[in-house]
Amino acid sequence: MKGGSRALYSALFWVTEWGMMLGDVLFAVWLIPLITQFEVRVSYPIIGLNGCFFIFALYGLALICDVLRKKLSIQNR
């Protein structure tokens, strides 16, 4: 694997790992008020349908980066 490919592979790996980790945490923060029926402030950015779409987009970005990373590692064998 060349230097540029290695840097791209590392960046895709980093985005995948952090995207999934942040997605898990934000999903828990989004789900806990739904289960407990706790009233949160409207200004909270991850509550409601917009929060759900944001979390889904974060998971989608991490999934796309994971697929690209695996495709890159297969091409460089």
| Full domain range(s) for residue 67 | 3-75
- For the entire predicted model, the pTM comes to 0.78
CA angle 50, 22, 63 (to 5 degrees): 85
Which tens digit of pLDDT belongs to each residue from 28-77? 888 888 888 877 777 777 777 888 898 999 999 999 999 998 888 777 66
14-31 pLDDT tens trace: 999 999 999 999 888 888
> Structural domain tally of the chain?
1
User: For 32-62, b where at least 16 C-beta lie within 10 A, e where not — what string?
Assistant: ebeeeeeeeeeeeebbeeebeeebeebbeeb
